[in-house]
Amino acid sequence: MSLLCPIDFRYGRPKMKAIFEEDARLQRLLDVEAALARAEAKVGLIPEPAGAEIAAKATTKHVTVKRVQALEEETRHDLMAVVLALTEACDGEAGKYVHLGATSNDILDSATALQLRDAIRILTSDLDELIQVLAGLATKHKRTIMLGRTHGQAAVPITFGLKMAVFASEVIRHRDRLQEASTRIVVGKMSGAVGTGAAFGPYAQDIQAAVMSDLGIGVEEAATQVVGRDRYAEFIAILANLAASLEKFCTEVRNLQRTEIGEVAEAFEAKKQVGSSTMAQKENPVGSENVCSLARVVRSLVIPALENVPLWHERDLTNSASERIILPHGCVLIDEMLARTTEIFDSLRVYPDRMKENLEATKGQVMAEAVMIALVGKGLGRQDAHKLVRDTAHKARTKGMHLRDALWAESKVTKLLSKKEIDAAMDPAGYLGESVAIVGAFVRRVK
């Protein structure tokens, strides 16, 4: 069989992909039918032996994907094919009670909730792993000084550990969002054709509560014929937001690995890995580039997810086809991205000496703010101090001087600051603020 979608052969990890494979999807549909049969038997809507028989036969051992596909070709209705296949599998009179009172999306949406519940568990574990890796880097490099950059330009010193703490904190927020939203996302329904529960008679609310409790998922308390698609839109939006952060982290790796910067680099297997088919010297950040590329796909899923919210009246089918794509693709790709990002940072090569070289290459320009603050400390007004340092820094750049030398030669500066005080202000290690304390407090909170 030839494969078309790269998710089938290139992207995605088996554990996440297994949730969305046909056999697994069918089993979840059958799990919902089994829970419905048990609930109906419990309230006396169907005979208890029938409920037990339906539940016993609601497995892919008795109801196969192949048989369901054959029935769907005849009926041109995916869920009805499942119902007919389960009916065939039941012995005696039990088959005539299969799917009693339910509508297709009672089964479909509740099965989707089971898939999303399992996917969220995997993603939560992925996020925990990434948090620990980033927190580990934050601890290891809490005193590793490097250039902070704004607008792509050298700004003031920062530590690589603080940068990693910022990333880890962002991942924690994504984990919190996912966990907090899961009670809204993992929701099913069992309330019939337009949500009234009429076909279940006086047992409607009891049946719905029993089914969802049996499945271990939440209840859509007021439904149309479907679970509200705002729930799925929220889920996809959370994945898209996370994808944006992963692209941010990996873009930072790509930038810092640039030849002229060279402060970090992805791991590279020197003996076997190839960077370029022609430029033999290349070691490219292909892992990070891959994450950035996949992030664009995940973010693109937000539009169809939002467009699935405004269905006509109590429901239509315009959401169905796109959901078959966006939900599994979103979960599989973000899981892949999280795993790759964790691997990238876990094996990241960090070059403190290069960071120091890049700091020194600015000839002290990045310490201009520190000098300004020192002058303010001597009584000079903030605006006057800013202008004095700005003019001196500009003069130093124009003449190719180190800022320290330009400051020593500026009488307006030396009138207020001694050479020793200027040297102290020019020391990057002395201008890290609370960086180390911030990292320490953050790591303690994570642990």
Please tell me which residue in 151, 313, 411, 418 is annotated as part of the active site: 151
For residue 427, the one-letter residue type is: D
pTM score of the predicted model: 0.94
| Cβ-contact 263, 355 below 8 angstroms | yes
The answer to whether 276 is a known catalytic residue is yes
Strand, helix or coil for residue 34 = helix
pLDDT category of residue 1 using cuts at 50, 70 and 90: low
pLDDT, one tens digit per residue, over 242-296 is 999 999 999 999 999 999 999 999 998 877 888 777 787 888 899 999 999 999 9
Average pLDDT, rounded, for the chain:
96
Strand partners, 138: none
Per cent of the chain over pLDDT 70 is: 100
Per CATH, is 6-97 categorized as 1.10.275.10? yes
Other C-beta atoms closer than 10 Å to the C-beta of 61 total 9
Q: Is 151 a catalytic residue?
A: yes
Sign of CA dihedral 6, 8, 11, 16: positive
Domain 104-357 belongs to what architecture?
Answer: Up-down Bundle (1.20)
The domain locations on the chain are 6-97, 104-357, 365-425
Helix 48-57 to helix 22-43 angle (10° resolution) is 170
Element (H, E) at 150: strand 145-150
pLDDT at 39: 98
Task: Please say if the pLDDT value at position 2 is more than 80.
Answer: no
Q: How confident is the model at residue 272, as a pLDDT?
A: 81
Q: Which residue has the tokens 């982290």?
A: 249
pLDDT at 405: 97
- Residues in CB range of 178: below 8 A, 6 or more apart: 120, 123, 124, 127, 238, 242
Q: How far is residue 400's CA from residue 397's CA, in Å, rounded to a whole number?
A: 5
**Which of 335, 238, 237, 349 lies closest to 291, judged by CA?**
335
The mean per-residue pLDDT over the stretch 195-211 comes to: 96
**What is the Cα–Cα distance from 290 to 253, expressed in whole angstroms?**
12
Specify the residue for token string 């890290």: 432
Q: Which of 62, 182, 245, 276 is catalytic?
A: 276
- H or E segment and range at residue 265: strand 264-265
pLDDT tens per residue, range 366-424:
999 999 999 999 999 999 999 999 999 999 999 999 999 999 999 999 999 999 999 99
Structure confidence at residue 436 as a pLDDT band (50, 70, 90): very high
Q: Are 195 and 314 in contact (CB under 8 A)?
A: yes
Neighbours of 272 (CB within 10 A): 6
**CATH number assigned to the domain covering 365-425:** 1.10.40.30
